[in-house]
Amino acid sequence: MTASAGFLKTRGSPRVFAFRGGSVPPLFALAWRVGPRLFPPTMRIVIQRVSRASVSVAGRVTGEIGPGLLLLLGVEPADTPTHAERLAAKVAALRIFEDEQGRMNLALTDTGAEALVVSQFTLYGNARKGNRPSFNRAAAPGHAEPLYRAFVDALARTLGRPVPTGEFGAMMAVSLVNDGPVTLVMDTELPDV
């Protein structure tokens, strides 16, 4: 078979693909057809260094911190407790606090700074097509909540103190004062976070 106007079609062996008349490596062809599902599952987190932050539900504060990290966490359907454990360890050891020389060289575990975790499925929003984002890469609540809790528990164990949170699945109001500002977006995948 031949390819026409950007469509991929097999030609002979299933390992050979044609694209506009030329052959391409199977991995490229698979990535073209499958898109992001080709890549391993990732737990996504936005890390913001803050002077203070709080989260409230219906006017009631559910969690607040002083200097530390505000963590917005998203979960994919294929994520596992291992992803949560490894990501929590990575966040706790992330050196994004300043030392005496003003260099980002200290971690949560070094400074005694706090962490506030908020679940946020909208981190997986995809607006490539149309104007309304699709959230089909976000895990369903029944799968996401236990992994969110696993992340919070693992972070609390690593820090040796409770970690305040938002309320999973609720409409939340988050307020923060960025410090720096320092904001990181991290996707984690196995085997190395």
3-class secondary structure per residue, 71-115: EEEECCCCCCHHHHHHHHHHHHHCCCEECCCCCEEECHHHHCCEE
Same domain, 21 and 90: no
Total domains, the chain? 2
Same domain, 26 and 53: no
Centroid of chain to Cα 15: 33
Out of 10, 80, 82, 122, which one is annotated catalytic? 122
Computed on alpha carbons and rounded to an integer, the radius of gyration of the chain in Å comes to 21
Same domain, 20 and 35: yes
Single pTM value for the model: 0.77
Same domain, 14 and 72: no
Same domain, 91 and 173: yes
In a domain, 152, yes or no: yes
Same domain, 18 and 109: no
Same domain, 106 and 152: yes
Out of 121, 158, 165, 188, which one is annotated catalytic? 121
Q: What is the CATH number of the domain that holds 138?
A: 3.50.80.10
Q: Where in the sequence is the domain holding 4, given as residue range(s)?
A: 1-39
Residue 71: what pLDDT? 98
Rounded CA gap, 193 and 186, in Å? 9
Same domain, 26 and 66: no
* 120 noted as active-site residue: yes
In a domain, 193, yes or no: no
Out of 17, 42, 48, 120, which one is annotated catalytic? 120
Residue 168: what pLDDT? 94
* 121 noted as active-site residue: yes
Centroid of chain to Cα 82: 14
pLDDT tens for the chain, 193 residues long, are 444 444 444 444 344 444 444 444 444 444 434 444 455 668 999 999 999 999 999 999 999 999 999 999 999 998 999 999 999 999 999 999 999 999 999 999 999 999 999 999 999 888 888 899 989 889 999 999 999 999 999 999 999 999 999 999 999 999 999 999 999 999 876 555 4
